[in-house]
Structure 1
Amino acid sequence: MTAFPLRRLARGVETLSAVVASSLLLINVGDVLFAVVLRYLFGSSVAWTEEVARYSLIWLVMAGAAGAQSRGDHMVLDLLGPRLPRRARRTVRGLVLAVQVTVLILLVVLGAKNVAGTWTMKTMALGIPKAVVLSALPVGMALLLVQLLLGRVTEDGR
């Protein structure tokens, strides 16, 4: 497969990540403002606003991780790498990729196992299955894994 369709796919994942994260940010800000207005102007509160704020923030972070990956916005400690010879740098880069892929696969698998046992549990205020909230981890890490691999393939295919 040529690099062009993979670049388009990577851009698509990045766009999906950005749209979902932006939408969740709007929901989060709107929810918090609604709760503040209710509390300080009308002296009352609604229990579900706290859950919406928390759950939208969780999903926002997990959805936004793939977009940050594609832009290179994740934190990197690059003290040793640039000082290494080219071959050693490639080897270290390959080891780092292997560790990243392994950790992300573990997070997806273990997160999915955690989600599987929580479909019957409900959240306190909203009454939605806890699995909906907990799905943020395996879904977000799967998107991050896809974006990481697509970025590496399109980088190497230049």
Structure 2
Amino acid sequence: MQKIEDYFLAINRWALILILAVMSVIIFTNVVLRYTTNQSIEWAEEVARHMMIWLTFIGCGPVLRYGGHIAIDNLQDSLPPRAAQILRVFIAVLITAFCVFCIWFGLEYMDRTQYQSTPATQISFAWIYLALPLGMGMTLIHWLLIVRSYIARREFASDAHFDATASASL
């Protein structure tokens, strides 16, 4: 199971790296062309915007996994350990429900926009909005992989690439 989880995380990270790299090259090339030739790539801004949407939703899971999202911990810190654990169960249920809702809503939204196309590239908006259900599905998987340690000890994952407790103390 650990090997599958490692592959899943690696695929997620490489997808993020690839999307960010391609987006950076497109934007950089467009800026250079605009200032050197007074011409720009017609589809560059649209594609970069859509890639940013994908980057956001695909990146949501690893950020949640490592405890990188903004959180207010004062209530948990002020409660006795058992009450704080019950609060974390409630939070876990809310996060799970939110992910499931976003997956359902994303699929509905894809269905509603499947016949609309983007202005420059003429692709279906459903491909752009696929980022929501796919990204939240991946986020749900990340969440389910760490939820037990979060509820029991308020721990998030950490590795050589990212440690939320080290970055929080900076």
- Could you state the TM-score of these two structures normalised by the residue count of structure 1? 0.89
Deviation, structure 1 residue 84: 1.1
Equivalence map 1:64-143=2 (5 Å) = 64-143=59-138
Aligned: 1:14 with 2:15: no
Identity of aligned residues (%): 27
- Alpha-carbon RMSD across the aligned residues, in angstroms, is 1.9
Distance 2:115 2:122 in 1: 11
Bigger RCO (CA 8 Å, 6+ sep): 1
- Does the 8 Å contact 1:13/1:143 carry over to 2? no
Change (3 A) 1:101 1:118: same
Is residue 61 of structure 2 the alignment partner of residue 53 of structure 1? no
Give 1:58's aligned amino acid. I
Q: Is 1:33–2:28 an aligned residue pair?
A: yes
Distance across 2 between alignment mates of 1:64 and 1:122? 25
How far apart are the structure 2 equivalents of 1:47 and 1:65?
29
CA distance in structure 2 between the partners assigned to 1:105 and 1:82 by the alignment: 28
Shift of residue 154, structure 1, vs aligned partner: 6.0
- Opposite residue 71 of structure 1, the aligned amino acid is Y
Partner of 1:3: none
- Summarize the Cα distance change of 1:69–1:8 in structure 2 as closer, same or farther, 3 Å threshold: farther
Deviation of 1:137 after TM superposition, in Å, equals 0.8
User: What are the Cα deviations for residues 124-149 of structure 1, in whole angstroms up to 9, with x where unaligned?
Assistant: 10111110101111111111011101
Deviations 1:17-60 (A, max 9, x none): 21111101001110101110111001111220011110111101
Deviation at 1:157, TM superposition (A): 9.1
Contact 2:92 2:151 in 1 (8 A): no
Q: How many residues align?
A: 153
The answer on whether the counterparts of 1:21 and 1:61 sit within 8 Å (CA) in structure 2 is no
C-alpha distance 74-8 of structure 1, shift in aligned 2 (>3 A): farther
Alignment check: 8 A CA contact 2:88 2:150 kept: no
Aligned equivalents of 2:84 and 2:134: distance in 1? 31
Q: Secondary structure at the match of 2:74?
A: coil
